Structures are given as structure tokens and as C-alpha cells.
Amino acid sequence: MTPLAEMKCEACRGDVPPLSEEEIAALSRQVPEWMIVEREGIKRLERTFRFKDFAEALAFTNKVGALAEAEDHHPAILTEWGRTTVTWWTHKIRGLHRNDFIMAAKTDRLYAEGTAAASE
């Protein structure tokens, strides 16, 4: 099976149902540090990434923004001193789609690449 971080987002039509609980559970195993949260009756994927200061958090935010533009799938992002919280969900279907898990995996990869570079 292709890792989620290697997949591309597919165009999501509004008539596609959100993922089932079983599908969410299966995909969640591939992005274990992400939490399933529910706000306004909508399931979302959310993770907070930690940094040493605001500049690093902002740089990561910009990388996630560039990724979102490249994939044409956009998260909610909260950037604060020393942390960035990223939340993925699919607005058209008011819930979670496979694309959200793909983007979570790609976000994890960005973070891993950044923290590896920072430790060199």
C-alpha cells in the first residue's frame, strides 16, 4: 500500500459521503499523532507542532500553506509563540475525506524534515 504522504489529493465532490468510523480508524493508524476532534458537528484532524520560538512556528506555517496551495486543499492554521496547530477537514462534505489524512501525513513529513534540518 502506498504511504499517505506519497499520495496526491483527489478532487472532492460535494456528493461524496464523509469517511465512516471504520475508515477513519484505519487511516488514523497511519497518522497516529493526529487527534480526531469534533467542532460544530464536523469531525476534523488536528495536531499541534512545537517549536523553539515564534519564527520557527511561522516558518512551518508558511511551509504548510505552500503545501496546501500545491494540493489545493486548505487547513485551518493557528500560529502562536512556539507552536502551530493545523486542522484538516473537507469543507464540501462537512467531515473527513481521505484527502485530509493525506495532508496530515504530508504535514508530518514537513515537520520531520524541518526538525531533522534543525538538529544538524
- Judge contact between 76 and 39, C-beta under 8 A: no
Fill in the amino acid letter for 95: G
Judge whether 13 lies within some domain. no
Residue 75: give its domain's CATH number: 3.30.1360.20
Q: Which residues contact 30 (CB under 8 A, 6 or more apart)?
A: 3, 4, 101, 105
7 part of a folded domain: no
pLDDT at 90: 95
1, part of any domain: no
Residue 120 lies in a domain: no
Count: domains in the chain: 1
103 vs 70: CA distance, rounded Å:
11
Tell me if 22 is assigned to some domain: yes
Range of the domain at 39: 18-115
Instruction: Centre a 10 Å sphere on the Cβ of residue 112 and count the other Cβ atoms it contains.
Output: 11
Instruction: For the full predicted model, state whether its pTM sits above 0.85.
Output: yes
Report residue 74 as a C-alpha cell: 486548505
Q: Is residue 110 part of a domain?
A: yes
Note whether residue 93 is domain-resident.
yes
Q: What three-state secondary structure class fits 27?
A: helix
Looking up cell 468510523 gives 21
- Please list the pLDDT of the chain residue by residue as tens digits (120 residues): 568 888 888 877 777 899 999 999 999 999 999 999 999 999 999 999 999 999 999 999 999 999 999 999 999 999 999 999 999 999 999 999 999 999 999 999 999 998 766 655
74 in a structural domain: yes
First to last CA, the chain: 32
pLDDT at residue 83, rounded to an integer? 97
